[in-house]
Chains A and B, each alone.
With several copies, the nearest count.
Chain A
Amino acid sequence: MISKVHENVLEAVSGIADGSTVMIGGFGRAGQPVELIDALLAGSATALTVVSNNAGNGDAGLAALVGSGRVAKIVCSFPRQVDSHVFDAVYRAGRIELELVPQGNLAERIRAAGAGIGAFYTPTGFGTLVAEGKETRSIDGRDYVLEYPLKADVALISALRGDRWGNLVYRGTSRNFGPIMAAAAATTIAQVDEVVELGSLDPEAVVTPGLFVDRVVAVGERPWLRDGVFVGAEAAS
């Protein structure tokens, strides 16, 4: 019997080596795998390259990881936010390298890694700073920049429900980078609110097929949900 289910988050993130490239899902706090990041923090892996849309919000999750000094480099589209004070401080202190990638190129580079595409021509960024030094080409009268895939050793993502084969469904805008990161990493670790019986996810509605997922761990329902249905924000962080 296939079972990708792990008992707890510490077990789920075990084996992440120093120097790994780690993709971390989420757009702001939505879809950010906070419990997995906490488990990564509880371990010792360091000199990490993190690929994520943002560079952390507030003080928890990705912000805490960045603040820990164990992130050598971050590849992201939007590090500077109202509540990105942790990243801002580390960056200004010169203690983290930043590779800034327009959000759509970031998403497409991750997608290309998962889909076995060697490189692709994108119109985004042509003629701007982010294209400096890159190969360009005019195709059918439009200008493009050549971009390469972004792959990872590990992806940490968050979904609503998963089964023991690793099939996942998400909720709302927390889907964001999860499905493409799952496909782009050698090892994909998904935290879910709930592990459900095999066969109880609608095959037409599965967003991430199980072959992209290596480990699944239940972290319990978020306070604003009951059986996956929104029950108000009273208890939300």
Chain B
Amino acid sequence: MSAGLDRAALAARIAQDIAEGSVVNLGIGAPTLIADALPAGLEIILHTENGMLGMGPRPAAGRIDPDLLNAGKQPVTELPGASYFHHADSFGMMRGGHLDICVLGAFQVSEHGDLANWHTGAPDAIPAVGGAMDLAIGAKHVWVMTDLLTRDGASKLVTECTYPLTGVRCVSRVYTDRAVFDVTAGGLVVTELFGDTTLDDLRELAGLELRDASGRHENEEMRS
């Protein structure tokens, strides 16, 4: 089967699901690619947990302002309509449910929506959690952007996370290079397949029961 979407294409796919007017936090790493993929002309307000709403793209060379960083400490810019606030207010926005969407990376996501993305549990690892736990429990919709498989070929979608958790039952949707999964009370539902991936492939890779709502039916059960 084909490899599915590359990271840029997956970022673009996620960007399509972000409605105009949404307040969005893009986690450190791959999710920051979504910023560049947002549809031109739509107003989507980016939040960065270090105290800014209305964050703009990376500045031009020579215009790097050390006082304007995103959560990954990368230089950013300020858009008209921006505002600044301190850390307690910024995390109050998350915890208080005022962000519409956050997109996070993941080590593992369970079929119940548990998220593990901060700590491998390795004894020599230096733990660092940052704002991930706050984002995980705070945003109205917590989306994960990740490859389906680790470099070792293990599924990141699992029955129960084996890595230390970031948040309990917090993920609502998982965008992977192979497929998009909605987390529902009844488990994971595949809503979209990429490349020539089939639902049977996914079931074999992840070892999970997966309901099909992809609209691509081959030998699968009907959309429920």
Q: Note whether A and B contact each other (Cβ less than 8 A).
A: yes
Per-position binary interface string of chain A over residues 163-178, scored 1 when its CB falls under 8 Å from any chain B CB and 0 otherwise: 1010100111111111
Per-position binary interface string of chain A over residues 95-139, scored 1 when its CB falls under 8 Å from any chain B CB and 0 otherwise: 000101111111110110111110000111111111000000000
CB distance from A117 to the nearest CB of B (A): 7
A232 touches B128 (CB 8 A): no
B153 within 8 A of A: no
Per-position binary interface string of chain B over residues 99-112, scored 1 when its CB falls under 8 Å from any chain A CB and 0 otherwise: 10000000000000
B210 within 8 A of A: no
**Residues of A close to B66: CB separation below 8 A:** 29-30, 174, 222, 224, 233, 236-237
B82 within 8 A of A: yes
A123 touches B63 (CB 8 A): no
B81 touches A124 (CB 8 A): no
B129 touches A78 (CB 8 A): yes
Q: Contact residue range for chain B? A: 35 or more
A210 touches B91 (CB 8 A): no
When C-beta atoms are compared, the residue in chain A nearest to B125 turns out to be A80
When A174-B67, A236-B66 are in contact, do A123 and B95 touch as well, CB less than 8 Å? yes
Q: CA separation between A198 and B88, bound complex, in Å?
A: 25
B43 within 8 A of A: yes
Partner pick for A175 among B53, B85, B132, B133, CB 8 A cutoff? B85
A163 touches B165 (CB 8 A): no
Q: Contact residue range for chain A? A: 35 or more
A233 touches B96 (CB 8 A): no
B133 touches A129 (CB 8 A): no
A219 within 8 A of B: no
Q: CA separation between A233 and B64, bound complex, in Å?
A: 5
> When A and B form their complex, which 10 residue pairs have the shortest distance between CB atoms, in order from nearest?
A199-B80, A116-B95, A104-B91, A115-B92, A104-B134, A172-B67, A206-B83, A28-B73, A111-B88, A127-B168
Binding site for B on A (CB under 8 A): 1-2, 27-31, 53, 57, 77-81, 87-88, 91-92, 98, 100-108, 110-111, 113-117, 122-130, 143, 163, 165, 167, 170-180, 183, 198-199, 201, 203-204, 206-207, 209-212, 222, 224, 230, 232-234, 236-237
Binding site for A on B (CB under 8 A): 20-21, 23, 43, 45, 47-54, 62-69, 73, 78, 80-88, 90-99, 119, 124, 126-134, 137-138, 164-168
